[in-house]
Amino acid sequence: MPRITNRAILKAHRQHPLLPLLLRECRSHISAKNELRWLRDRALSMVSARENGRSPDAPLGWRSLLRSMCHSRSRGVPLQYILGDQPFGDLEILCERGVLVPRAETESITLRAAGLILDAIRKQGHSQGRMGQRTRNLRIVDLCTGTGCIALLMHALLAPHINRLSILGIDLSPMALELANKNLAHNVRLGSLSKRALKEVYFEQGNVLARGLGGAGILQESQTSIPNAAGYCDVLISNPPYISPRAFRDGTTSRSVRIFEPKLALVPTIASSGISINLDRQEDIFYYHIISLSFEASAKLVVLECGDRLQAERVRNISRTLAHRYGSGALSIDIWACSSDPFAHGGISLNDEPCAVVLRRTDIDTE
Amino acid sequence: MLKVPWVCSQCLARFATGFVKTHPRPILQRRRLNTSVDLSPSLLSRARFLAAEHLKLSAHLEDSFNGRTAKRVGELALIASALKEWDKTNESIVELNTLLNDADTDSELRSLAIEDLETSQDLLPTIAENLKQALVPRHPFATLPCLLEIRPGAGGDEAGLFAHELLRMYIAFCSRRGFRSNIMKLEVGDGSAEDRLSEAVVEIETDGTYDILRTESGVHRVQRVPATETKGRTHTSAVSVMVLPSFPETGSGMDDALNFDDPNSDYYIDPQEVRSEKMRAGGAGGQHVNKTESAIRLTHIPTGIVVSMQDSRSQHANRKKAWQILRARLAEARQDAREQELVRLRRGAMGGVARMGRGDKVRTYNYGQSRCTDHRSGITIHNLNDILDGGDSLDAIMESVRSWLIDQEIAALAAEELVKDRKINTPPAKK
């Protein structure tokens, strides 16, 4: 990482004495200024909220609160852990230590996936004649849900157009599940999620790797609580851990992420997978399991976030191999670049930008 | 009557005001007051033409309903009713006059007629005014909420400081009038001063605020001794204010003309023409890093309009806001181009029709004299503090500008009709 020049530090200090602290983590003046503004707004609102509550244990004024926030930020604590939340679509996702912070790339993939589902439904509606006819349940499974951000945003985007939804979020970490449920309640309270979400979104514990490649047990087991479940799902979406142990160490992964975010959500470990498969790359384990799962559950749409273009290519090959093994019919595989704007045509897509691999079963009738 | 006949009239006036003056009011000066009753024949003929169209269309509407026609009829109904009233009043005046001129009418009837005539004549100016206002076509964005952009112009730091004061003024104005407003974008300049604006965009969400605030577009000039000045000299700086239409989200049942998603709409933006960039350093993304940079920059390639947005922590929110601003700017630019074209046509036909452009100085705030002068309506108010607090005086200024705008429109309409008449009456000259 290039050193920050003295001039940049001086310039920052002239503007605000706390700015050089933020510069250590942000590395750019504009970004540091933005973070300072967000932190200051939060400090002010926290202090005013406390004053309104008139709690006696309020020793800090907003200035000292801001200072302590900036100090922890300069140590590399993710901004979202300091502020306690992160906007995701129109939702506000709470963030806590021990659970991965939702990323902007995941947000854009989720938005795009929801757009795809809505398009398909619209087309179907046209072919069937009437839109209101659809009463069938649309089932979505989000594996490795973490904060629950994908599952919740999916519900927020789809609920106005689909009468019946059931969205299941699965994660290994109990901490993540607790936070996901908290997020569900929090966003319903804020009004950014409809009340239906309380009935239609579930979070359950499960290990995607432990079941091996043998069966879709993970889905079946967790679906016992959902009435009329047959172990099938329509849409499978996931942002699994995808960093290789090497990329975790060699500086590709930033210090802040390495130290403060849970390794469980970042690097797949072979030990937890139980059986050993002939995979040349450890970081792709999850895709193997998730894609086989999707064939067993006969998902019509699978959306998987990948770390970079090369990994996406590998995932494409994995899905081709598995499709062959499961003898599934026509399958269309696309790779989405995350940088693209859902509204406009995108700029340049870089090779080390995350992508999404999208599998669509074209043999199954969409209804 | 006064007992002493030799009191000078000025003294008398001063004496009288001593009693009349009960509460201090901001001193208003108007250079030009428009109280003429006269309605130019060309305007009247236009009104008759439109009323005839109204009659024809409403007859048509009875046979078959058509949304577009119904809308047009609704627009014309106002003109038709105003014209009817005008005709009725004029008729009754003529009738009463003949009654008065007639030698046979008895005295009782005559006194009644005189009374009637007076009320009718009093009514006439307001009716004429109504008719004029009805004739002015509604602004296409009149029903929309708006975005207010404030940017400092010439004048360096001082312009930035004053821009911040204008921002406060408009926010105070909105809260006093009960309009919901929120700051979409706020950028302060580099330096230690917090209140030196480099750009601000305020969204005013209440419908119809575009029409109320569109008087504010233009360059606002400030004359004062800046806080940064050490020698006590008065500086002149400028801040540019733009009022843009804010388009509602789609699917809210807007009428076709303003639906920006419809490729046939005038305000449609082809997504292919917009380049979207994330202003982010290169390198790995996704789980590898946790970047908080959420800035988005949109460039509309054909016009070169650039909107960048970095206020929110969410890229998605920034992108949404950037699109909203881009849409607003393009719509305003397109509307502006259309107006320019109209003005050009008019000018080509008869010359000398004034139009205040965005680049023109519209208002001066002079701190030394505590006055604010609007250069369009010519109104001056000597209560700068109230104006900068977004108080009633600001309303007064905006009201005066609005009537000025209507006067302008009417003058242009009249001129246009005149040209039309001339074209019809005089056969094209041969070389």
Residues B152 and B167 grouped into a single domain? yes
Judge contact between B287 and A146, C-beta under 8 A: no
Question: Would the pLDDT of A174 be above 60?
Answer: yes
Residues A11 and A127 grouped into a single domain? no
Cβ-Cβ contacts under 8 Å, A249 against chain B: none
Considering the domain boundaries, does residue A95 fall inside one?
Answer: no
Residues A66 and A138 grouped into a single domain? no
B192 touches A at CB < 8 Å:
yes
Q: What angle do CA A61, A67, A70 make, to 5 degrees?
A: 140
Nearest to B292 by CA among A242, A80, A307: A80
For chain B, the maximum distance between any two Cα atoms, rounded to a whole number of angstroms, is: 103
- pLDDT tens per residue, range B313-357: 988 899 999 999 999 999 888 888 888 887 777 665 555 545 555
B275 touches A at CB < 8 Å:
yes
Residues A268 and A192 grouped into a single domain? yes
Confidence band for A229, pLDDT divided at 50, 70 and 90: very low
- pLDDT tens per residue, range A238-281: 999 999 988 999 888 999 999 999 999 999 877 544 455 555 67
DSSP notation for A142-202: EES-TTTHHHHHHHHHHTTT-S-EEEEEEES-HHHHHHHHHHHHHHHHHTSS-THHHHHEE
Residues B325 and B268 grouped into a single domain? yes
E strand or H helix at A314: helix A309-326
Mean pLDDT, residues B98-107 taken together = 80
Mean pLDDT of chain A: 82
Q: How far apart are CA A68 and CA A80, in angstroms?
A: 15
Which of B104, B135, B166 terminates a domain? The answer is B135
Q: How far apart are CA A340 and CA A202, in angstroms?
A: 30
Whole-structure pTM value: 0.80
Which CATH number belongs to the domain containing residue B303 in this structure? 3.30.160.20
Q: How far apart are CA B181 and CA A318, in angstroms?
A: 52
Which CATH number belongs to the domain containing residue B398 in this structure? 3.30.70.1660
Is the Cα dihedral A173, A175, A176, A177 positive or negative?
A: positive
Q: List, in sequence order, every residue forming a beta bridge with B200; answer none if it has no partner.
A: B150, B186
CB contact (8 A) between residue A341 and residue B317: no
Residues B415 and B338 grouped into a single domain? no
- pLDDT tens per residue, range B37-52: 566 777 777 788 888 8
ipTM: 0.87
B285 → closest Cβ in A111, A261, A353: A353
Residues in CB range of A13: below 8 A, 6 or more apart: A19, A20
Mean pLDDT of chain B: 80
Cβ-Cβ contacts under 8 Å, B281 against chain A: 27-28
Residues B111 and B162 grouped into a single domain? no
Out of A56-70, A77-91, A248-262, least confident range: A56-70
CB contact (8 A) between residue A26 and residue B274: no
Question: Would the pLDDT of A223 be above 50?
Answer: no
Residues in CB range of B427: below 8 A, 6 or more apart: none
B286 → closest Cβ in A16, A28, A105: A105
Residues B329 and B394 grouped into a single domain? no
Q: What angle do CA A257, A258, A262 make, to 5 degrees?
A: 80
- pLDDT tens per residue, range B113-172: 888 888 888 888 888 878 877 887 778 888 889 999 999 988 788 899 999 999 999 999
Considering the domain boundaries, does residue A170 fall inside one?
Answer: yes
A344 → closest Cβ in B289, B294, B298: B298
Considering the domain boundaries, does residue A288 fall inside one?
Answer: yes
Range of A65's domain?
6-75
Question: Would the pLDDT of B240 be above 60?
Answer: yes
Q: List, in sequence order, every residue forming a beta bridge with B244; answer none if it has no partner.
A: B147
User: What's at B348, amino acid-wise?
Assistant: G
More confident site: B195 or A6:
A6
Query: B378 in the Ramachandran plot: left (φ > 0), alpha (ψ -120 to 50) or beta?
Result: left
Neighbour-count burial of A196, counting CB atoms closer than 10 A to its CB (0-12 exposed, 13-18 middle, 19+ buried): middle
CB contact (8 A) between residue B285 and residue A14: no
B293 touches A at CB < 8 Å:
yes
A347 → closest Cβ in B191, B276, B312: B276
The confidence score (pLDDT) of residue B34 equals 41
Residues B302 and B262 grouped into a single domain? yes
Judge contact between A169 and A180, C-beta under 8 A: yes
The confidence score (pLDDT) of residue B165 equals 92
C-alpha pair distances (Å), B236 with each of B153, B240, B385: 11, 14, 18
Q: How far apart are CA B419 and CA B413, in angstroms?
A: 10
Judge contact between B412 and B346, C-beta under 8 A: yes
**Tally of domains within chain A:** 2
CB contact (8 A) between residue A347 and residue B191: no
The confidence score (pLDDT) of residue A238 equals 94
Q: How far apart are CA A48 and CA A58, in angstroms?
A: 11
Give the E-state strand segments of chain A in sequence order: 85-88, 91-94, 138-143, 165-171, 201-205, 235-238, 301-306, 331-337, 355-361
CA atoms within 13 A on the CB side of A84: 7
Range of B54's domain?
41-135
Q: What angle do CA A30, A149, A184 make, to 5 degrees?
A: 120
Mean pLDDT, residues B177-196 taken together = 81
Considering the domain boundaries, does residue A94 fall inside one?
Answer: no
Cβ-Cβ contacts under 8 Å, B196 against chain A: none
In chain B, the percentage of residues whose pLDDT exceeds 90 is 26
**Tally of domains within chain B:** 3
The confidence score (pLDDT) of residue A346 equals 42
Nearest to A234 by CA among A122, A329, A128, A360: A360
